[in-house]
Amino acid sequence: MLHRRFAGDPQFVERFRREAQAAAGLTHPNIVSIYDRGEADGTTYISMEYLDGRTLKDLILAEAPLDPLRAAGIAKQIMEAASFAHTGGVIHRDLKPQNVMVDAADRVKVTDFGIARAGAPGITEVGSIMGSAHYVSPEQAEGREVGPASDIYSVGVVLYEMLTGQLPFDAESPVAIAVKQISQEPQPPSALQPGIPADLEALDLWALRKSEVDRPADAKAFIAGLDAVVLRLQDGAATSATVAFAIPTAGAVAAGTAAAAAAATGTVAPDGEPPVDPAAARRKRWWIAAAVAGVLLLTVGGLFAFTDVFSPKQPQVTMPLVVGKKLQLATTAIANAGFKQSPSIQRVQSDKPRDVVIGQNPLAYAKVGEGTSVTLVVSDGPGTTQIPSVDGLKQAEAEALLKKAGFKVVIRMKADPTIPAGTAIATDPVGGISVDAGSQVTLIVSNGVEKVSVPNVVGSPIDDARSQLQAAGFVVVTTKQPSTTAPEGEVLGQTPSGGESVAKGSTVSLVVAAAPATVAVPDVVGQPRADAIKAIQAAGFNVKTNADKTPSDATNQDTVFSQDPIGGNKVASGTTISITVWAPLP
Task: Say how far apart CA 523 and CA 567 lie, in whole Å.
Answer: 4
**Do 291 and 319 belong to one domain?**
yes
User: What pTM was estimated for this model as a whole?
Assistant: 0.43
Beta carbons within 10 angstroms of residue 443's beta carbon: 22
Domain limit, last residue, from 246, 274, 301: 246
What is the structure's pLDDT at 288? 34
DSSP code per residue over 557-580: TTBEEEEESPTT-EEETTPEEEEE
Task: Say how far apart CA 263 and CA 254 lie, in whole Å.
Answer: 14
569 in a structural domain: yes
160 in a structural domain: yes
Domain limit, last residue, from 514, 537, 560: 514
**Do 495 and 533 belong to one domain?**
no
258 in a structural domain: no
**Do 334 and 353 belong to one domain?**
yes
**Do 315 and 369 belong to one domain?**
yes
Task: Say how far apart CA 329 and CA 343 lie, in whole Å.
Answer: 12
45 in a structural domain: no
Task: Say how far apart CA 92 and CA 150 lie, in whole Å.
Answer: 9
**Do 155 and 299 belong to one domain?**
no
**Do 303 and 334 belong to one domain?**
yes
| Contact between residue 483 and residue 514 where contact means Cβ atoms under 8 Å apart | yes
**Do 106 and 192 belong to one domain?**
yes
Q: What is the number of domains present in the chain?
A: 5
Task: Say how far apart CA 89 and CA 95 lie, in whole Å.
Answer: 16
295 in a structural domain: yes
Domain limit, last residue, from 514, 534, 564: 514
**Do 60 and 79 belong to one domain?**
yes
Peptide bond into 65 cis (omega under 30): yes
From residue 342, alpha-carbon distances to 235, 244, 371 in Å are 24, 18, 10
From first to last of its 586 residues, what are the pLDDT tens digits of the chain?
877 777 777 777 777 777 667 666 778 999 988 888 788 887 888 888 888 899 999 999 999 999 999 999 999 999 999 999 999 888 888 999 999 999 999 999 999 875 555 443 333 333 334 457 899 998 888 777 889 999 999 999 999 999 999 999 998 878 788 878 888 889 999 989 999 999 999 999 999 999 999 999 999 999 999 999 999 888 764 433 333 343 443 333 333 333 333 333 333 333 333 344 434 433 333 333 333 333 333 333 333 333 333 334 568 898 888 888 999 999 999 999 999 999 999 888 777 788 998 878 887 777 888 889 998 888 888 788 899 999 999 999 999 999 999 899 999 998 887 888 899 999 999 999 988 888 899 999 998 877 889 999 999 999 999 999 999 989 999 999 888 788 989 999 999 999 998 888 889 999 999 887 788 999 999 899 899 999 999 988 899 988 777 776 667 788 888 999 999 898 887 889 999 988 876 6
What is the structure's pLDDT at 454? 94
CATH of residue 489's domain is 3.30.10.20
183 in a structural domain: yes
526 in a structural domain: yes
What is the structure's pLDDT at 442? 95
Describe the crossing of helices 278-300 and 250-265 by its angle, rounded to 10 degrees.
160
| Contact between residue 464 and residue 457 where contact means Cβ atoms under 8 Å apart | yes
- Identify the H or E element spanning 476: strand 475-482
**Do 172 and 213 belong to one domain?**
yes
**Do 498 and 548 belong to one domain?**
no
**Do 105 and 196 belong to one domain?**
yes
Grouping H, G, I as helix, E, B as strand and the rest as coil, residue 378 is strand
- The parent domain of residue 327 ranges over 264-379
CATH of residue 146's domain is 1.10.510.10
481 in a structural domain: yes
553 as an active site residue: the answer is no
Which class for 424: exposed (0-12), middle (13-18), buried (19 or more C-beta within 10 A)? Answer: buried
What is the structure's pLDDT at 554? 66
**Do 291 and 184 belong to one domain?**
no
Of 9, 41, 58, 94, which residue is the catalytic one? 94
Q: Which amino acid is at 243?
A: V
